[in-house]
Amino acid sequence: MSTGIDIRKLVKTFTSTKRRFGIIPSGHVETRALKGIDFAVGKGETVGLLGPNGAGKTTTIKILSTLILPDAGEVRVNGFDVVRQPTQVRASIGVITGGERSVYYKLSGRENLILFGRLYRLPRAEAKERADELLDMMGLSKKADEQCEDYSTGMRMKIVFARSLVHDPPTLMFDEPTLGLDPAFAREIRQFIRTKLHNKCILLTTHYMNEADFLCDRILLLHEGQIVASGTPTELKRSIREHDILALHIKGRIARRPLEKLPGVSRVAVTPDVSGTSTLRLHVLDGAAVIRQLLDAVETQGAKVLRFEFEEPTLDDVFIQKTGRRIAEHGSESS
């Protein structure tokens, strides 16, 4: 399989200025966004970069799309070096970033696509033909000549998708493509990626586990600038199969540490809910053996167990096992 994306020992550090009273500079803070990551994505492969906010997913996409320069490492897209051959890289990729706001509001959907077709060096006639083809594919032919400011959010997002495909690039990068979209439309987008773009080299970032599960041939779990696990979704879930996954729903707040000290408990993640309840997700070696001690430990801290259940491991569990925290601590997931 030939390689669309090839990253070796990629490092990126950001420096920001500390300010006193919000205005007076008083020093610098360094944030190591990427700490030497390595991975490759081949043609016909969809690879997901999964991780919480601040893990380095968007930084990776921006380096690949030449918006940011790496500090160290070698990054190639379709054989082109992102530092030395940025124009060639951009000519061979389609990128979604910035959401539905990133279209020209005062142009129609058709005009937006033809414009970018021309900017991606398509001859005029071909740009028009390609725009018609994509509008038809997206179900926007009837609205093609209305200005984008009159489109719904979903329609604008379709134009953003179509724009990334107008020059038929071999490699696509989607940065949180379904973030903020309604569940039905998000499903439509995922279905589109899976059925129409399966022959492309695709890198997508997301913090929706079921999206990664559905779309990706391979997943890389990114945490604080490092890849902590990689594999197919099945492989990743199997890697923690010696653990039982126990979900407890409790009323009240409790601390994690006393539970982690119980024999057989390897990881505990606590997610408070807004209604005063919390969800505990525990990785235990033998759930049946430790359940009574767990329930007692929860009640000792003054909380009340509402219900508990054994669950199948998810990618979130893999993440918890590797890092001790959840991917989406406070986020909601689309079905």
Partner 1 sequence: MVRNPRSRLVASSRRQTAGQPTPVKLPRVIDFSAAGTIAKNSLRISLRYPANFLIWGVLPLFWFLPFIFTGIAFTGGTTSASYQSQTGYANFIPYLVLGWVVFTYVDSSVWGVGNTLRWYQFSGVLEPMFMIPAPRLSILLGAAVAEMVTTSISTAILFGLSLVIFGLSFAASAVLPVLILLFLMIIGFTGFAFALSGLILVFKDPSVLTELVDTIIYILTPINYSINVLPLWAQPLSLILPSTFALVGIREAALAAAGLPQLWIDIVMLVILDVLFWALGMLLFQVAEHHTRRKGTLGEY
Asked if 12 is part of the footprint of partner 1 (rule: CB under 8 A), the reply reads yes
DSSP-derived letter for residue 329 is S
Cβ 87 to partner 1 shortest distance, Å: 5
Cα distance between residue 195 and residue 164, in whole Å: 16
* Span near partner 1 by CB under 8 A; candidates 66-74, 246-254, 272-280, 284-292: 66-74
DSSP string, 265-309: EEEEEEEE-TTSEEEEEEEES-HHHHHHHHHHHHHHTT-EEEEEE
Binding test (CB under 8 A) with partner 1, winner from 120, 174, 308, 319: 120
Is the Cα dihedral 66, 72, 78, 80 positive or negative?
positive
Residue with tokens 């997301």: 206
Asked if 60 is part of the footprint of partner 1 (rule: CB under 8 A), the reply reads no
Cβ 323 to partner 1 shortest distance, Å: 24
DSSP string, 191-250: HHHHHHSTTSEEEEEES-HHHHHHH-SEEEEEETTEEEEEE-HHHHHHTTTTSEEEEEEE
DSSP string, 13-40: EEEEEEEETTTEEEEEEEEEEEEEEEEE
Q: Which residues pair with 29 in a beta bridge?
A: 16
Pairing of strands 265-272, 277-284: antiparallel
* Nearer residue to partner 1 within complex by CB, 38 or 81: 81
Binding test (CB under 8 A) with partner 1, winner from 10, 49, 55, 95: 95
Binding test (CB under 8 A) with partner 1, winner from 37, 47, 50, 68: 68
Pairing of strands 226-231, 93-96: unpaired
Binding test (CB under 8 A) with partner 1, winner from 18, 19, 121, 304: 121
Cβ 83 to partner 1 shortest distance, Å: 9
Binding test (CB under 8 A) with partner 1, winner from 8, 38, 74, 126: 126
Cα distance between residue 190 and residue 177, in whole Å: 9
The count of other CB atoms within 10 Å of the CB of residue 242 is 10
Asked if 230 is part of the footprint of partner 1 (rule: CB under 8 A), the reply reads no
Cα distance between residue 105 and residue 108, in whole Å: 7
Cβ 174 to partner 1 shortest distance, Å: 13
Cβ 202 to partner 1 shortest distance, Å: 11
Asked if 39 is part of the footprint of partner 1 (rule: CB under 8 A), the reply reads no
- Are 286 and 244 contacting, i.e. CB atoms less than 8 angstroms apart? yes
Binding test (CB under 8 A) with partner 1, winner from 51, 52, 59, 216: 59
* Span near partner 1 by CB under 8 A; candidates 100-108, 220-228, 275-283, 302-310: 100-108
Asked if 334 is part of the footprint of partner 1 (rule: CB under 8 A), the reply reads no
Asked if 65 is part of the footprint of partner 1 (rule: CB under 8 A), the reply reads yes
Cα distance between residue 131 and residue 245, in whole Å: 48
* Nearer residue to partner 1 within complex by CB, 120 or 208: 120
Asked if 198 is part of the footprint of partner 1 (rule: CB under 8 A), the reply reads no
Write the binding mask 151 to 180 for partner 1: x where contact by CB under 8 A, - elsewhere: ------------x---xxxxx---------
Cα distance between residue 151 and residue 159, in whole Å: 10
Binding test (CB under 8 A) with partner 1, winner from 74, 111, 132, 146: 111
Asked if 47 is part of the footprint of partner 1 (rule: CB under 8 A), the reply reads no
User: Binding residues for partner 1, per CB under 8 A?
Assistant: 2-4, 12, 14-15, 33, 42-43, 59, 62, 65-69, 71, 78-80, 87-88, 90-93, 95, 97-98, 101-107, 111, 115-116, 118-123, 126, 163, 167-171, 201
